[in-house]
Amino acid sequence: MLNDAVDFSQVKTVLVIKLRHFGDTLLTSPVFSVLKAHHPHIEIDALVYEETRTMLTLHPAISHIFGIQRSHSHANTLQQLKTEYNLFKQLKARRYDLIIHLTEHTRGLWLTRLLKPRYSVSYHFPGFSPRRKKFWKKTFTHITPHGSPQRHVVEKHLDTLRRMGLYPNRSERALSLVAGDAAEQRIDALLAQHGLEKQTYIHVHPTSRWLFKCWSPEKFSALINQLHKAGYTVVMSAAPDATEKAFVKAIQQQLKQPVIDVSGQLTLKEMAVLTQRAQCFIGMDSVPMHIAAAMNTPVVVLFGPSGDLEWGPWQVASKVITLAYACRPCGQDGCGGGKISECLTDISVNIVFDAVQSLLEKPRL
């Protein structure tokens, strides 16, 4: 038993800080669920980048979501100071008893020092210098190891709770993403427009914001052609980014029959509903894959330079496709920094197609 376990009966307000990308933010959702399930009296807030707020809005365990800008490059110094001060006042008014800081971002460290909660928890990051490690240890009342690359990010997040004496049940660890009525109505109308019903199509999201995490357009075209030949309907999505649009166009140019293309047309909440209504999801290591897992849609995902054990689909029926290359996962920006990862591009179309067929043969839970 821990000799410094937190007395949660004395905790009324908690702030969870996660300053990262969309997928990273979604993967924090079980922290809120577990904490609320074990201690319903606690009010739990989130501090995230403003752009990632949508990953946590409507979460039933969250009281308030505070957003900050990733960069103040378009703001002058006075505006920046005013924004920061107003945020600090709002956070201070919440009188936090506990702060859970889930990244190595120094912003969370300084907020913890300034807000002075009774309890605070973060990680021991292996890359820290001795000086920074000492400063970190002096700031937080509880420190937990960050964990190895073989440990899933969700479990790493939940390790902060374990370090304080709160042990989550396995049934409590699912991702939580609430799309909302407006998103459901939009997608239901879109499906009706194309004559589609629930679970009568496959959702393919071939892109990632990072090109080195992508399969080739040629192989995606071949896969979709094979899916069409087998009688499946394909709905394809991508972000409105120009690079992703060009990637989708390259796929479309090699198709024997068109897909239903909604690229650049959906919010992330709407994409969540589109995925939820699908038979299965096919994609890369990116936020749409994590969204599919949160919506309990079977997932076929291709992993290359990023680690599937650490970032794979969480608690959902899935087929994770990798090649047993000794150099992966390397985390590099493509082989030799060339934006193309051979551990991905060498994956055959037939392997992916067979994985889809195998997954769809199983009843959806």
pLDDT digits (tens, 9 = 90+) for 191-211: 999 999 999 999 999 999 898
Interaxial angle between packed helices 130-139 and 106-115, expressed in degrees from 0 to 180 and rounded to the nearest 10: 40
Neighbour order of strands in the sheet with 119-124 = 62-68, 43-49, 13-18, 98-101, 119-124, 142-145
At the top level of CATH, the class of 8-172 is: alpha beta
In DSSP terms, which residues pair with 123 in a beta bridge? 144
pLDDT value for 289: 98
pLDDT of 296-338, one tens digit each?
Answer: 999 999 999 999 999 999 999 999 999 999 999 999 999 999 9
User: How far is it, in rounded angstroms, from Cα 25 to Cα 52?
Assistant: 7
Closest CA to 299 of 314, 310, 200, 191: 314
Residues of the chain with pLDDT > 90, as a percent, come to: 88
Q: Is 322 helix (H, G, I), strand (E, B) or coil?
A: coil
The answer to whether the Cα torsion of 219, 292, 194, 363 is positive or negative is positive
User: How far is it, in rounded angstroms, from Cα 148 to Cα 327?
Assistant: 17
pLDDT value for 74: 62
Check residues 146 and 157 and name the one with the higher pLDDT. 157
Average pLDDT on 174-188 reads 98
Same fold, 8-172 and 182-361: yes
User: How far is it, in rounded angstroms, from Cα 229 to Cα 234?
Assistant: 11
Q: Which two tokens stand for residue 33?
A: 């669920």
Residue 326 C-beta-side C-alpha neighbours within 13 Å: 0
Q: Does the bond joining 288 to the residue before it have cis omega, within 30 degrees of 0?
A: no
User: How far is it, in rounded angstroms, from Cα 136 to Cα 224?
Assistant: 49
Flag the least confident range among 27-31, 73-77, 146-150, 260-264.
73-77
Pairing of the two strands 280-284 and 43-49: unpaired
User: How far is it, in rounded angstroms, from Cα 337 to Cα 185?
Assistant: 43
pLDDT value for 73: 57
* H/E element, 66: strand 62-68
Confidence of residue 246 (pLDDT cuts 50, 70, 90): very high
Average pLDDT on 139-144 reads 96
Q: Which two tokens stand for residue 204?
A: 């393919």
pLDDT value for 72: 59
pLDDT of 335-357, one tens digit each?
Answer: 999 999 999 999 999 999 999 99
- Decide if 60 contacts 178 (C-beta within 8 A): yes
Total-model pTM: 0.96
The DSSP call for residue 10 is G
Q: How high does pLDDT run on average in the chain?
A: 95
Phi-psi category of residue 152: left, alpha or beta, with phi > 0 → left and psi -120 to 50 → alpha: beta
Confidence of residue 363 (pLDDT cuts 50, 70, 90): confident
Q: Is 131 helix (H, G, I), strand (E, B) or coil?
A: helix
Check residues 185 and 84 and name the one with the higher pLDDT. 185
Look up tokens 């669920």; give the residue: 33
Query: 89, exposed or middle or buried, with CB in 10 Å at 0-12, 13-18, 19+?
Result: exposed
* H/E element, 263: none
Q: Which two tokens stand for residue 106?
A: 């120094």
At the top level of CATH, the class of 182-361 is: alpha beta
Confidence of residue 133 (pLDDT cuts 50, 70, 90): confident
- Is residue 42 pLDDT above 80, yes or no? yes
Based on C-alpha coordinates, what's the Rg of the chain?
A: 22
* H/E element, 283: strand 280-284
pLDDT of 71-122, one tens digit each?
Answer: 755 667 788 888 889 999 999 999 999 999 999 999 999 999 999 999 999 9
In DSSP terms, which residues pair with 320 in a beta bridge? 301
pLDDT value for 75: 65
Domain boundaries, the chain: 8-172, 182-361
Give me the numbers of helices (H) and strands (E) for the chain, helices first please: 14, 12
